[in-house]
Amino acid sequence: MVTLKINEQEVKVAEGTTVLEAAKKLGVIIPTLCNHPDLCVAGNCRVCVVEQTGARTLIAACAMPVSEGMDIHTNSLKVRNARKHIVELLLSEHRADCTKCYKNQKCELQTLANEYSFGEHIFLDLVEDHSYSIDRSSPAFIKDDSKCIRCQRCVRTCSQLQHVSAIAVANKGAHMKISSFHDRPMSHVVCTNCGQCVNRCPTGALTEKTYIDQVWDAIYDPEKHVVVQTAPAVRVALGEDLGYDPGERVTGKMVTALRQLGFDSVLDTDFTADLTIIEEGTELLTRLKKVLVENDHSMALPMFTSCSPGWIKFIEHKYPQMLPNLSTCKSPQQMFGALAKTFYAQKRKLDPSKIVSVSIMPCTAKKYEADRPEMRSSGYKDIDFVLTTRELAVMIKQAGIDFRSLEPDNYDSIMGTSTGAGVIFGATGGVMEAALRTAYELVTGKPVPFKNLNIMPVRGMEGVKEATIKIEGTTEEWRFLEGAELKVAIAHGLVNANKIAKAVSTGKAQYHFIEIMACPGGCLGGGGQPIPTNAAIRQKRMEAIYSEDMHMDLRKSHENPEIIAIYNEFLEKPNGHKSHELLHTHYIERESY
Amino acid sequence: MYQTGNMVKELAEKHGRKRESLMPILQEIVRKHNYLTDDVMVAVATELDISAAEVYGTASFYTFLDTQERGKNVIRVCKTITCSMKGKNDIVSTLEDILKIKVGETTPDKMFTLLETNCIGWCHKAPAILINDMPYTDLTPETVIDVVKGYMR
């Protein structure tokens, strides 16, 4: 242990602790910008400078490890003046059109400016002298270099969490910028649109591309029937943007709010999550049978899940040789989209051209996914607009809804009923658990042999998880699987996905079924979730997801009555002709830069 | 433009595939071909299992690792204060006249690229230029013409 003094208060911390962490322990707030708990120390914004008695210069609290007898002052005149200058220097290169900015009042630089730099600025405004560019090429996000303070949170995110490095630091000195490969448009590089950088950008330099106005237009158009679906992870995070603590479940209130916003039908992505389980589970069993029994290697094993559009784009760029291993199932969002303008339209006797399909997602990559040319199997754009959790919170505020006082309500029917298996799609390991709950029962006629159906080995925040499920007591049809050990793996965060993909592609790992989610923690840690998102908050959201599951009457996808009905009335059978037309897709090999 | 071919693979064999091999590989390519094409940067990234943006980021940091097409001979005129005081501007305009290009441009026959550079350490013999790796010093508008003519063959 190391003893030091911060602002005359003594504190004992473990060796290796930074001054910043030690100060936090005392409740002393030191401002930061480039620092983020998910990322390595960078120490490049200098906002966290503090004074150490006896040291020649100010030190960066985020990067400086404590030492015995240190005497730190976080609020001396020297520190205050330095901080003011640092903030103003950052502002001199930042296009501060705050009232027009999407991040207005949610900007960390603005907060600091508010504390340190009001009145006349002492430095020249350099923004006009730079020829900054704004990249709007991606349907998911906007990269506005004129608001970038080069803290490099995005660069570290893309490299450390996602192993993508679609963006890196380019050039030097005054010309230094965050750049894609040769400054190509973000839509034409390896970027997966996961939005993890958007979630971590302290300013308005990286923001989701918002479709709020388009959605309002659709709602106000009397000709249009606007359906909305909400992803599993939204209900455990939306509250954070509306004044609740992390981990609060606000499902019922969210449904009421959506109805008050004017959506004609409030439906649930969890329904198509259940449907995904039936389709993907059937696909897995078919693949197992073809490869293991019939020795037909036209189908590839292991099978990867395909729910996460960030992961899909990652594998398309980085491991195109493994595209046959991807499940052909569309993601729940896109299954929903395809069914909304076919099955739902028929049932409700609506003209599909008059339906506007909106989805609320914890994800920015979903915006990109909805724009993929393959996603038009209904004959129309299957999903018209994708809003993030954050954008929904904005709409709720715009509408003047007092969220806290809302009475909880239930989803509408026809594609609104779901099970706990659908809900847990929002957490890493959830798709795997949901799939196992159904597949095991389909094959053996018995529920999975885990207490309360909770398959604990596939849960948790470990980057890569593995489990082996022994299949025993199979029914006649599935006799070939008797005694077989189903080997599964789960990864979240593309840095972990890359580990598994590499191990599989080089033959070092043998699995049957692999769940991959592009974002840390799965969808609950998605790029479209409330800011901040970090390990502690992801943990809270995960607990909320599993508690939501425990509170559901039905917890197995195949028991969802609307799923049974849709096969009887419309789809006929899993992986059948109609399923292939509407619920399955194909993938494209992409460039490696 | 030049062909990437097996060059990058061979260089990776020679220098290794670790992150720290990036610089020697890029330097050797530039020594041979004067600049880095997009193809070659992507090939290096693939070989070293890093992203192309990182290769570009590294290359763009270093003035001498060009990512724009360059001529066979790259002329860099020192623009730092001593050379400026000793007639660098006349050297530049003379070079622009005989090569019929502006600073930053390459001749249509791809023989010459004209650039400015920061201090190359020849202040005591200013004004100075570099042609490829060779410094030429104590220049006047007359002598610089002779120097460049030596490269025109």
Indicate which residue of A208, A316, A369, A441 is catalytic. A369
Indicate the pTM of the whole model.
0.95
Q: Place A292 in a pLDDT band, splitting at 50, 70 and 90.
A: confident
Mutate one of A143, A164, A180, A182 to test the B interface: name it (highest B CB count within 10 A).
A182
Is the pLDDT at A118 greater than 80? The verdict is: no
Rg (C-alpha) for chain A, rounded Å, is 25
Using alpha carbons, select from A110, A85, A87 the residue that is nearest to residue A97: A110
CA distance B93 to B87: 10
Is the pLDDT at B3 greater than 90? The verdict is: no
Pairs of residues, one from chain A and one from chain B, whose beta carbons lie less than 8 Å apart: 60
- The average pLDDT across A171-186 equals 94
∠ at Cα A436 (A434, A438), nearest 5°? 75
CB of A302 closer than 8 Å to CB of A576: no
Using alpha carbons, select from A61, A57, A114, A62 the residue that is nearest to residue A91: A114
Give Cβ neighbours of residue A377 (< 8 Å, ≥ 6 apart).
A338, A581, A582
Q: Say yes or no for a CB contact (<8 Å) between B53 and A172.
A: no
CA distance A254 to A256: 5
pLDDT tens, position by position, B12-37: 999 999 999 999 999 999 999 999 99
CA distance A192 to A366: 10
The partner residues of A466 in beta bridges, in order of sequence, read A489
- The average pLDDT across B71-94 equals 96
pLDDT at A392: 98
Q: Place A1 in a pLDDT band, splitting at 50, 70 and 90.
A: very high
CB of B51 closer than 8 Å to CB of A166: yes
CA distance A577 to A377: 13
Q: Place A122 in a pLDDT band, splitting at 50, 70 and 90.
A: confident
Helices B88-99 and B141-149 pack at an angle, to 10 degrees, of 40
Sign of CA pseudo-dihedral A377, A378, A379, A380: negative
**A167 Cα to chain B: minimum distance (Å):** 6
- The average pLDDT across A5-14 equals 97
Higher pLDDT, B76 or A484: B76
Is the pLDDT at A359 greater than 80? The verdict is: yes
Largest CA distance in chain B: 50
**B13 Cα to chain A: minimum distance (Å):** 20
CA distance B151 to B153: 6
pLDDT tens, position by position, B127-140: 999 999 999 999 99
CA distance A63 to B12: 34
CA distance A414 to A344: 7
Q: Is A307 a catalytic residue?
A: yes
For A165, what's the count of Cα atoms within 13 Å in the CB-facing half-sphere? 23
Higher pLDDT, A522 or A592: A522
CA distance A268 to A423: 10
CA distance A267 to A258: 10
pLDDT tens, position by position, A125-142: 888 888 888 999 999 999
Using alpha carbons, select from A336, A330, A365, A337 the residue that is nearest to residue A270: A336
CB of B103 closer than 8 Å to CB of B112: no
Q: Say yes or no for a CB contact (<8 Å) between B51 and A182.
A: no
Q: What percent of chain A has pLDDT over 90?
A: 93
The partner residues of A582 in beta bridges, in order of sequence, read none
Q: Say yes or no for a CB contact (<8 Å) between A171 and B67.
A: no
pLDDT at A298: 84
Q: Which CATH class is domain A212-271+333-405?
A: alpha beta
Q: Say yes or no for a CB contact (<8 Å) between B51 and A179.
A: no
**A374 Cα to chain B: minimum distance (Å):** 27
Helices A309-318 and A494-505 pack at an angle, to 10 degrees, of 40
Q: Say yes or no for a CB contact (<8 Å) between B60 and A171.
A: yes
Q: Say yes or no for a CB contact (<8 Å) between A168 and B54.
A: yes
What residue in B sits closest to A170 (Cα-Cα)? Answer: B57
Q: Is A559 a catalytic residue?
A: no
- The average pLDDT across A509-531 equals 97
What residue in B sits closest to A167 (Cα-Cα)? Answer: B53
With an 8 Å Cβ cutoff, is A186 touching chain B? Answer: no
- The average pLDDT across A222-242 equals 98
Sign of CA pseudo-dihedral A135, A319, A360, A454: negative
What does the mean pLDDT of chain A come to?
96
Q: Which positions in chain A touch B60 (Cβ < 8 Å)?
A: 170-172, 179
CATH tag, B73-149: 3.40.30.10
CATH tag, A2-75: 3.10.20.740
The domain segmentation of chain A, as residue ranges, is: 2-75, 121-207, 212-271+333-405, 280-329+418-530+548-582
pLDDT at B153: 75
CA distance A404 to A119: 37
Q: Is A107 a catalytic residue?
A: no
CA distance A141 to A396: 21
CATH topology of domain A280-329+418-530+548-582: Fe-only Hydrogenase (Larger Subunit); Chain L, domain 3 (3.40.950)
CB of A192 closer than 8 Å to CB of A518: yes
Q: Is A572 a catalytic residue?
A: no
- The average pLDDT across A534-539 equals 98
pLDDT at A42: 95
CB-based burial, A467-506: b 16+ in 10 Å, e otherwise? bebebeebeeebeebeebebbbbbbbbbbbbbbbbeebee
Mutate one of A154, A155, A165 to test the B interface: name it (highest B CB count within 10 A).
A165
Helices B22-33 and B7-15 pack at an angle, to 10 degrees, of 140
Classify residue A582 by its DSSP letter: H
CB of B129 closer than 8 Å to CB of B135: yes
**A592 Cα to chain B: minimum distance (Å):** 7
CATH tag, A121-207: 3.30.70.20
Using alpha carbons, select from A55, A56, A59, A66 the residue that is nearest to residue A21: A66
pLDDT at A97: 92
Q: Say yes or no for a CB contact (<8 Å) between A592 and B46.
A: yes
Q: Helices in A123-211 by DSSP H: which ranges? A: 153-156, 196-200
Q: Is A34 a catalytic residue?
A: no
Q: Say yes or no for a CB contact (<8 Å) between A593 and B53.
A: yes
pLDDT at A542: 98
Q: Place A404 in a pLDDT band, splitting at 50, 70 and 90.
A: very high
The domain segmentation of chain B, as residue ranges, is: 7-61, 73-149
Q: Place A121 in a pLDDT band, splitting at 50, 70 and 90.
A: confident
Q: Which positions in chain A touch B69 (Cβ < 8 Å)?
A: none
Q: Say yes or no for a CB contact (<8 Å) between A179 and B56.
A: yes
Q: Which positions in chain A touch B45 (Cβ < 8 Å)?
A: 592-593
pLDDT at A514: 98
- The average pLDDT across B90-108 equals 97
CA distance B126 to A64: 44
- The average pLDDT across A306-328 equals 97
- The residues of B whose Cβ lies within 8 A of any Cβ of A are 38, 41-42, 45-46, 50-57, 60-61, 67
Q: Is A363 a catalytic residue?
A: no
Q: Place A382 in a pLDDT band, splitting at 50, 70 and 90.
A: very high
Q: Which helix (H) or strand (E) holds A286?
A: helix A269-288
Q: Say yes or no for a CB contact (<8 Å) between B51 and A172.
A: no
pLDDT at A375: 97
Window 116-175 of A: residues touching B by CB (8 A cutoff) are: 159, 164-172
CB of A62 closer than 8 Å to CB of A35: yes
Mutate one of A164, A167, A180, A181 to test the B interface: name it (highest B CB count within 10 A).
A181
Classify residue A419 by its DSSP letter: -
Q: Is A280 a catalytic residue?
A: yes
